[in-house]
Amino acid sequence: MSKPVCLEDFEVHCSQILDRNTRDYISSGANQEQTLKDNIEAFKRYRLRPRMLRDVSNVNMKTTIMGYEIDFPIGIAPTAMQKMAHPEGELATARAALSMKTLMIASSWSTSSLEEIAQANCNGPRWLQFHFFQDNRITMDLIRRAEQAGYNALVITIDFTKMGKRLAEHRNKFYLPSHLKLGNFNNETLNTLRYSTKAQQQPTSDSVEYKSKHSLVDKTFTWDTITWVKSFTKLPVIAKGILTGEDAKLAVQHGVDGIIVSNHGGRQLDGVLATIDVLGEVVEAVEGRVEVYVDGGVRQGTDVLKALALGAKAVFIGRPVLWGLAFQGQTGVEEVLRIIKEEFKLAMALSGCEKVTDIQPSLLAYDKKFYCKL
Beta strands in the chain (DSSP E): 46-48, 63-65, 68-70, 74-76, 104-107, 126-130, 153-157, 237-242, 258-261, 291-295, 314-317, 364-366
Per-residue pLDDT of the chain (374 residues; tens, 9 = 90+): 689 999 999 999 999 999 999 999 999 999 999 999 999 999 999 999 999 999 999 999 999 999 999 999 999 999 999 999 999 999 999 999 999 999 999 999 999 999 999 999 988 999 999 988 888 899 999 999 999 999 999 999 999 888 889 998 899 899 899 899 999 987 666 554 433 223 333 434 444 444 445 557 777 889 999 999 999 999 999 999 999 999 999 999 999 999 999 999 989 999 999 999 999 999 999 999 999 999 999 999 999 999 999 999 999 999 999 999 999 999 999 999 999 999 999 999 999 999 999 999 999 998 766 655 44
* Number of domains observed in the structure of the chain: 1
Which pTM value belongs to this model? 0.92
Angle at the Cα of 156 (from 204 to 265), degrees rounded to 5?
70
Cα angle: 164, vertex 167, 171; to 5 degrees: 135
Evaluate whether residue 205 is within a structural domain. Answer: yes
What CATH number does residue 286 fall under? 3.20.20.70
* Cα(335)–Cα(325) distance, integer angstroms: 10
Are 119 and 88 in contact, with CB atoms under 8 Å apart? no
Q: Is residue 1 part of a domain?
A: no
Please tell me whether residue 124 adopts helix, strand or coil conformation. coil
Concatenated DSSP letters of 60-97: B--EEETTEEESSSEEEPP-S-GGGT-TTHHHHHHHHH
Are 313 and 73 in contact by the 8 Å Cβ rule? The answer is yes
Q: Is the dihedral of CA 41, 46, 51, 57 positive or negative?
A: negative
Angle, helices 275-286/245-253, rounded to nearest 10 degrees: 40
On whether residue 222 sits in a domain, the answer given is: yes
Q: Is residue 364 part of a domain?
A: yes
Q: Determine the structural domain holding residue 264 and report its residue range.
A: 7-370
Q: Is residue 69 part of a domain?
A: yes
Backbone φ, ψ for residue 367 (5° rounding):
-60, 120
Residues designated catalytic: 264
Which contiguous run of DSSP H or E holds residue 285? helix 275-286
Q: How far apart are CA 372 and CA 374, in angstroms?
A: 6
Count CB neighbours of 175 within 10 A: 20
Give me the sign of the Cα torsion angle 23, 181, 90, 41. Answer: positive
Q: Are strands 46-48 and 63-65 parallel, antiparallel or unpaired?
A: unpaired
Compute the distance between CA of residue 67 and CA of residue 267 in angstroms, rounded to an integer: 31
- Cα–Cα distance measured from residue 167 to residue 163, given in angstroms and rounded to the nearest whole number: 12
Is 283 inside a domain boundary?
A: yes
